[in-house]
Structure 1
Amino acid sequence: MRTRIRYFRRLRRLTQAELARRVGTTAATISRLETSDMTVSTDWLEKLASALGLRAAELVGQPQTSHIPCVGQIGRDGLFDRSLAAGDETLTLEAPARDPVALRIHADVGAYCAGDVLIADRLPPEHAARALGRDCIVEIDGEASGFGRFVSSADGSFLLVPPDPGAQARFLPTPDWIAPVVMLIRHL
């Protein structure tokens, strides 16, 4: 049976050894499960799904096509603009995320180009540690309040570093949600 174990492991930026530790097995076993060299039982699917933060059904079958709400645009200095042109409210595509949201890049910012679309995986605040060191959309008090590299400070508070060189980093209270970028769509 073909599975999507490798796809989701890579999406979560885990090595085979890291996933193996979470599941309580070896990297060699994870490799065999990913390549269908070993039968994937329902017990394995449940363990792997739990370790990857998924439902077991997501590890088998075809990718789902999603209608993803577009929550706004990013301008210079990582400033968020909730206004969208008519027809830009949703994107339809396969999303490598459990709770996907999308952003359109309005102006060149850091490594991102005007016209890029970012797909991010919205996480509750208790899972903010999963987003550390990644480019993220952060929402505080009901409005998206920024975009940038999400880092932790020495005192345990969070810092958002915009992607533009020299832009001012901001300390953040606990976010309502945080969404690390999992996919970049760039039209060439």
Structure 2
Amino acid sequence: MINRIRIIRKQKGMTLADLAEACDPPTTPQTIGRIETGMRTLSTKWMDRIATALGVEPELLVRGESAQTAQVVAALGERGAEALAKVHDALPPTAMGGAGDALMVVQVDYPHGEYRPGDQVWLREIAPEDAGRAVNRDVLVPRKAGRFAFGRLIDRRGDKVGILPPGHGEKQVVVESPAWIAVAEMLVRRL
């Protein structure tokens, strides 16, 4: 089995000490380092503790040696594409959210603003009271009669949210007491 703990930890911007402290109960950075490098066995109990601390599903921490996965082989920097010092697994963005987070997709059938037909906008659901962290981001919000509002969240006052649709000359849509708000995390566009 190939251990992905270091890759996930780094993608989450955590140090060994951060991950050790986030475990329940907390552990030492040395223990996490030994598990990452294979010097210590990754038991199912440790998988559960570390996965919870990272906010991912436990099965994401490992993969079989024969399993085919996309690889990150280069980085596009200021001077162009450069080889990485070490190739590593590309983790699906949908796996990097919190465990249990609701994901949804908006399919684009007609061009709207920066979105083109065939695009998919992947969104992650948040509670309406957390709308403040989604200001100036594209969101999907349910409306009455099974309809939705999609666009840039530009305002939040009390239990109302203001959304500016992506097309030119569109007027703000105000939604009262939305049951949830889904924030755009990823755009999938075929080339």
**2:19·2:54 contact (CA, 8 Å) conserved in 1?**
no
Cα distance in 1 for partners of 2:131, 2:9 equals 23
Task: Give the secondary structure class of the aligned counterpart of 1:137.
Answer: strand
* TM-superposition CA deviations, 1:26-72 (whole Å, max 9, x none): xxxx5xx1xxxx4555423469xxxxxx93253696649xxxxxxxx
Cα distance in 2 for partners of 1:174, 1:99 equals 19
Cα distance in 2 for partners of 1:176, 1:155 equals 14
Structure 2 unmatched runs, 5+: 27-50, 62-91
1:48-67 superposed matches below 5 A: 55-58=52-55, 63=60
Cα distance in 2 for partners of 1:40, 1:106 equals 43
**1:157·1:171 contact (CA, 8 Å) conserved in 2?**
yes
**2:139·2:151 contact (CA, 8 Å) conserved in 1?**
yes
* TM-superposition CA deviations, 1:125-176 (whole Å, max 9, x none): 1222221110011113473421000121577742110011211111221211
Match of 1:109 among 107, 112, 119: 112
Cα distance in 1 for partners of 2:57, 2:6 equals 7
**2:127 counterpart residue number:** 124
Question: Does 127-136 or 114-123 show the bigger shift?
Answer: 127-136
TM-score, normalised on structure 2? 0.55
Match of 2:6 among 2, 14, 22: 2
**1:168 counterpart residue number:** 171
Match of 1:100 among 90, 98, 103: 103
**2:81 counterpart residue number:** none
CA RMSD in angstroms comes to 3.1
Aligned residue pairs, count: 128
TM-score, normalised on structure 1? 0.56
The reply to whether residue 43 of structure 1 matches residue 21 of structure 2 is: yes
Percent identity of equivalent pairs: 22
**2:138·2:151 contact (CA, 8 Å) conserved in 1?**
yes
* TM-superposition CA deviations, 1:1-21 (whole Å, max 9, x none): 505244345xxxxxxxxxxxx
Question: Does 161-170 or 137-146 show the bigger shift?
Answer: 137-146
**1:45·1:59 contact (CA, 8 Å) conserved in 2?**
no
Structure 1 unmatched runs, 5+: 10-29, 48-53, 65-92
**2:119·2:189 contact (CA, 8 Å) conserved in 1?**
yes
